[in-house]
Amino acid sequence: MLRVESITYKLNKRLLLKDISFSIRPGEMVALLGSNGAGKSTLMRLLSGERKPDSGRIMLYGDDLRDYKRKILATKRAYLQQHNPVTMAFSVKEVVMMGRYGFKGLPSAKNDETAVLETMELCGLLDFADRSMLSLSGGEQQRVHLARVLTQLWDNPDAVLLLDEPTNNMDLQFQHQTLSIAAAMAKKGYMIIVVLHDVNLAAQYASRLIILKDGRKWWDGTPAQVLTPQHIYTAFGIHAQAYTDQSSLKTVIVPKEIKLDAAKFNSNLQAAEQPIYNLANTSIDELATI
Amino acid sequence: MRRLSIYTLLSAGLLVSICFSLASGAMRIPIKEVIDTLTHNLGFTLFGNSDHGINQSVIMMIRLPRTLLGILVGAALGISGAAIQGIFRNPLAEPGLVGISAGASLMAVLIIAFETFLFSCLSQLLGYYLLAFGAFAGAGITAMLVYNLSKVNGQANVPTMLLAGIAINAMAGALTGLVTYLADEQKLRSITFWMMGSLGGATWQNVGCLFPFVGIAVFGLPFLAKGLNLFAIGENQVELIGLNPRRIKILVVVMATMAVGASVAVSGIIGFIGLLIPHLTRLIGSVDHRFVLPVSALMGALVLTVADLVSRLIVQPIELPIGVVTALMGSPVFLYILIKDKKKLVN
């Protein structure tokens, strides 16, 4: 299991994460929610080892992440970043295969080919196998990188999969396909941590939600426990209603529409606009001149 | 399959161009005699007659070392260009452009200018090694400087890299000019030779001196091909997938600059090979470094051999500096890349 023990992280004296603790059991899929700048991506960077916490530690199966050997850790943890720019015209299949590059000499190396083919099929990439990465759209590229991180962990159900906004740029079908893959991986025993902006998508697929605000953990629990109108307002600053969908028994959030007064909206345009007439206070004679 | 035919084609091309290179020049020698001389010196006889007198001396003492030097320098520039482009994640990072060659040449010039004061007791062979190591040090320092200058959030930033290259080229050029002013007549001649870029100074001695530097790069760099592939998807992913990015980076920079530095030490700055060759390799085959690295070495050797042949033949009996020929071939390719990738370079 993965245990985060009271981690704190500062960048240029700004406190980005403050005293965050939680733990995840095998088979759990946890979604991290929060507004922009709440610390979700920073937390993912710490979990991926890209940054080191200033205090606290992250334990995987009882050992500090920092004590793992690089090669062993690569079989136990994979990380899909938000942005994955590829600058050279690698083929889709080669990029997916890169997930296995660290396994030379390990026993799982002989399963490379099946891992690549199965993950490419799951991510709908079989027709793209020989296409250049540079010719793909943003959503398609994101699917290739998803297949790559899946390939990396394909033989190790005790691994942690970190997904930072995996549905970025994806169409509706693949947003759901991606999260259903993650949920299915969790069923096999993987630990999944996924950053999402779409609260309903999180409620539909994750077994547990954690809401961050200003670098702290505010709520942690099942979607029904966490997603109340009060919590949503506190975390995101928007009014919303929470329902339980009768057929799936999942929590569904319906945010209230935000209305802006167009008249007060753009002061540059205001001077040029037509004067606004209040019809109730206008006499018949004046109306005739309009 | 396709890769195999590319290897075969390039190797065959290289063999043919070697034969032509040995046969052509101020004194034409029939191909048959060339092959005869070579096989005889390898210890067996093909056509029975093996004594060609003066022709044999021309081949063995003048043309063979020059051809071998061209092969070594071409292979070094090709493979180093490919490796450096891989580390910088950018097809425009060429040793000449980012200042690595200029750093090497500055060190070489410094060593030539001051060798009498410092190393007058060294033998000539040791002097060559000193020159090669000095050029390697100059190349390595500039490579690390440019890389660290152009790194933003762990990734090489292209405009900064090119601007840093311009600054370093200007600085090295100015310092080289300064050293030339201080040098005496005889030193000046050797320095001018370095600045032009030429294979004319080839001897068995400097071929032997260059061989280990280039050999290590050509045989060592392909072992880092997978790591270089991973750099294309981001430096931090290298670590996550279980390889050591620092080690890969240091080894690549050391081996590439070693080859470039030593080449500059014996043949001066020969531009555009490091840019042109890897790009052509990616065009005809794939961008996979397991393919790009060895093929760039092979194609670099072929192209430089041909360029040397052209430089010797085109305005006979005068010999054109080889840098002129490679720049004539390379700059249109450079412009082509610029036009094609214009939009990508901006953001």
Tell me what ipTM this predicted complex has: 0.82
What pLDDT is recorded for position B16?
92
Q: Which amino acid is at A146?
A: L
Q: Does B247 touch chain A (CB under 8 A)?
A: no
Out of B31-45, B73-87, B129-143, B253-267, least confident range: B31-45
What does the alpha-carbon distance between residue B36 and residue B29 come to, in Å, rounded to a whole number?
Answer: 11
* The two structure tokens encoding residue A242: 């929470």
Contacts of A74 in chain B (CB under 8 A): 240-242
What average pLDDT score do residues B51-72 get? 83
What is the nearest CA distance from B288 to chain A, expressed in angstroms?
7
Contacts of A71 in chain B (CB under 8 A): 242
The band of A59, judged by pLDDT with boundaries at 50, 70 and 90, is very high
Q: Which residue has the higher pLDDT, A205 or B315?
A: A205
CA nearest to B114, candidates B172, B176, B209, B179: B179
What pLDDT is recorded for position B347?
36
Number of other CB atoms surrounding residue B297 within 10 Å: 30
CB contact under 8 A, B233 and A99: no
Contacts of B89 in chain A (CB under 8 A): 87-88
Residue of A nearest to B233 (CA): A86
A252: left (phi over 0), alpha (psi -120 to 50) or beta: beta
Domains of chain A: 2-242 (3.40.50.300)
What pLDDT is recorded for position A77?
94
Whether A202 and A209 have beta carbons less than 8 Å apart is answered as: yes
Contacts of B229 in chain A (CB under 8 A): 90, 94, 98, 101
What average pLDDT score do residues A37-55 get? 92
What pLDDT is recorded for position B75?
95
- pLDDT digit string (tens) for B224-251? 999 999 988 888 889 999 999 889 988 9
Our CA angle for A225, A146, A107, nearest 5°, is: 110
Residue identified by tokens 């296995």 is A100
What average pLDDT score do residues A32-47 get? 93
Task: Give yes or no for residue B82 having a pLDDT over 80.
Answer: yes
What pLDDT is recorded for position A277?
59
What average pLDDT score do residues A152-159 get? 92
Whether B46 and B27 have beta carbons less than 8 Å apart is answered as: no
Q: Does A78 touch chain B (CB under 8 A)?
A: yes
Task: Provide CB contacts within 8 A for A157, sequence distance 6+.
Answer: A26, A188, A189, A190
- pLDDT digit string (tens) for A235-256? 999 999 999 989 988 999 999 9
What pLDDT is recorded for position A278?
61
Whether B201 and B266 have beta carbons less than 8 Å apart is answered as: yes
For chain B, helix, strand, coil in percent to 5 are: 80, 0, 20
What average pLDDT score do residues B59-73 get? 89
Mean pLDDT score across all residues of chain B:
82
* B2-16+75-346 classified as CATH 1.10.10.10: no
Contacts of B243 in chain A (CB under 8 A): 70, 101-102
What is the nearest CA distance from B305 to chain A, expressed in angstroms?
29
What pLDDT is recorded for position A270?
66
CB contact under 8 A, B89 and A87: yes
Mean pLDDT score across all residues of chain A:
89
For chain A, helix, strand, coil in percent to 5 are: 40, 25, 35
CB contact under 8 A, A101 and B241: yes
User: In this complex, how many residue pairs, one in chain A and one in chain B, have their CB atoms less than 8 Å apart?
Assistant: 67
* The two structure tokens encoding residue B318: 């005068």
Q: Does A68 touch chain B (CB under 8 A)?
A: no
Task: Give yes or no for residue B273 having a pLDDT over 70.
Answer: yes
Residue of B nearest to A71 (CA): B242
H/E stretch holding A278: none
In percent, the amount of chain B with pLDDT more than 90 equals 22
CB contact under 8 A, B229 and A91: no
The band of A273, judged by pLDDT with boundaries at 50, 70 and 90, is low
What is the nearest CA distance from A81 to chain B, expressed in angstroms?
9
What is the nearest CA distance from A74 to chain B, expressed in angstroms?
5
CB contact under 8 A, B230 and A71: no
- pLDDT digit string (tens) for A80-99? 998 888 878 899 999 999 99
Out of A125-134, B191-200, B337-346, least confident range: B337-346
Q: Does A152 touch chain B (CB under 8 A)?
A: yes
Q: Does B245 touch chain A (CB under 8 A)?
A: no
Contacts of A85 in chain B (CB under 8 A): 234
Q: Which residue has the higher pLDDT, B125 or B78?
A: B78
DSSP state of A124: T
DSSP state of A276: P
- pLDDT digit string (tens) for A202-236? 999 999 999 999 999 999 999 999 999 999 999 99
Task: Give yes or no for residue B291 having a pLDDT over 60.
Answer: yes
Q: Among residues 195-234 of chain B, which lie with CB inside 8 Å of chain A?
A: 226-227, 229-230, 232-234
Contacts of A146 in chain B (CB under 8 A): none
What pLDDT is recorded for position B345?
44
Q: Which amino acid is at A239?
A: H
What average pLDDT score do residues B288-317 get? 91
Best probe of the B interface among A86, A88, A136, by most B CBs < 10 A, is: A88
Q: Whole-prediction pTM value?
A: 0.84
- pLDDT digit string (tens) for A120-145? 999 999 999 999 898 899 999 999 99
The band of A285, judged by pLDDT with boundaries at 50, 70 and 90, is low
What average pLDDT score do residues A159-183 get? 94
The band of B17, judged by pLDDT with boundaries at 50, 70 and 90, is very high
Q: Which residue has the higher pLDDT, B22 or A264?
A: B22
DSSP B307-338: HHHHHHHTTTTS---HHHHHHHHHHHHHHHHH
What pLDDT is recorded for position B346?
41
DSSP A38-72: SSHHHHHHHHHTSS--SEEEEEETTEEGGGS-HHH
Whether B296 and B277 have beta carbons less than 8 Å apart is answered as: yes
Q: Which residues pair with A162 in a beta bridge?
A: A79, A193
